Amino acid sequence: MRIIRDLEAAKSLLLERAQVELAGEAYETVQQILGEVRARGDSALFDYTREIDGVELARLEVTREEIAQSRNVAGKELVSALELAAERVRSFHVAQKRSLGLEFVEGGLGFLVRSLERVGIYVPGGKASYPSTVLMTAIPAGVAGVDEVVVTTPPAPDGTVPASTLVAADIAKVDRIFKVGGAQAVAAMAYGTESVPRVDKICGPGNVFVTLAKKQVYGIVGIDGLHGPTETVILADDSASPVLCAADLLAQAEHDEMASAILITTSPRMAGEVNEEVERQLAQLERQAIARQSLERNGVIVVVDNIDEAIELVNLYAPEHLCLAMRDARSYLDRIRHAGGIFIESPEALGDYTAGPSHVMPTGRTARFGSPLSVLDFLKVSILVDLDDEALKALGPAAATIARAEGLTAHALSVERRLEDLERGKPGK
């Protein structure tokens, strides 16, 4: 891994690494796919699945029989692990919803909280399966009270959806599952087709084409965010374990070639030992080639003079995952302004599967303004205004004055006529 010892050089590099280009040829390709699906519906979905995934489908929707058979195919050990993970995710989000306390009415004003009606969840797939993503997205939606949860995921080369994904969907009480991936899946959920229902919001991570599609359909539907390549920053002092730091960096790097694994440390010794340990552990990985390419392209070790500089870099980069491997780590929490998830004495990989909070988190510096997926993503607020005649008398004249200053006479008259009715003894509503 590349080692940097200059603070300003580190700042420039981290800002550069955080930028994800969402334009160019890929943007135009996605735009064309969206237009085709909107115009041709299911026919376009079948065509793109054949052309892009190399799969000829007879039908788009997964049957109840396929779901029912999935538990036997997946095996007891995996089913049990998924059930444990689901219970952890559900418990966390039930507690979160209980603690929100959003809805209130006071003095004729308030918030009314309502869940979304139908949500679409994109689950990456095709060559691999990600049942954890199903749990991390569908369960918070269910806890929030969403009426219908729809999942789209690319089919495997044999035209099926992996059993692990179907088991997770069944555990999470997903309503419908479709064998559609890529930008075409986002288009189907945004516009609706003969088979795929139109949703109110699309959630879940995907590749650059999925992200571009979500960006382009935003406004027609809601989205949870624009999820780019995954990223982890480990902030370590000389008390950290080089073996564990290397293991955590590799756990990030093996995701894909675009993943970013970054170590920021106050210890030159730690920088060297972690670098050596990364190379040693690489040889043990099944996805060694992917991890190596990720580290060569995006991996970096930054040596800083002190913790203040380290925290400055963290807040600048606003990482998806931040692991604190240092003395008195909890004492620094108040100084961490921007991070999707903060891990203390806990491997980030635990957060990917069984800790409880969703692993769908903001990337590409969007942790400066974004948050991990949660119950809040599936709730919306309506403002309630229910003021009585006394409030109308107190507030109406000022409202009319402001309206006339803005040249909106009808606004002013709407208030003034009610005030006149009150003077005549009529109700002001």
Q: Which residues are catalytic?
A: 320-321
Q: Is 37 helix (H, G, I), strand (E, B) or coil?
A: helix
From the list 197, 237, 212, 420, the residue with the least C-alpha distance to 328 is 237
CA within 13 Å, CB half, 146: 30
Q: CB–CB of 192/150 below 8 Å?
A: no
Report the distance separating Cα 7 and Cα 24, nearest Å: 32
Report the distance separating Cα 248 and Cα 291, nearest Å: 12
From the list 301, 45, 46, the residue with the least C-alpha distance to 188 is 45
**The residue type at 296:** E
Report the distance separating Cα 376 and Cα 111, nearest Å: 14
From the list 321, 319, 315, 314, the residue with the least C-alpha distance to 355 is 321
What is the DSSP-derived secondary structure letter of residue 305?
S
From the list 378, 341, 348, 352, the residue with the least C-alpha distance to 139 is 378
CA within 13 Å, CB half, 114: 9
H helices present in 231-287, as ranges: 242-253, 268-282
169, containing H or E segment: helix 163-171
Report the distance separating Cα 392 and Cα 309, nearest Å: 55
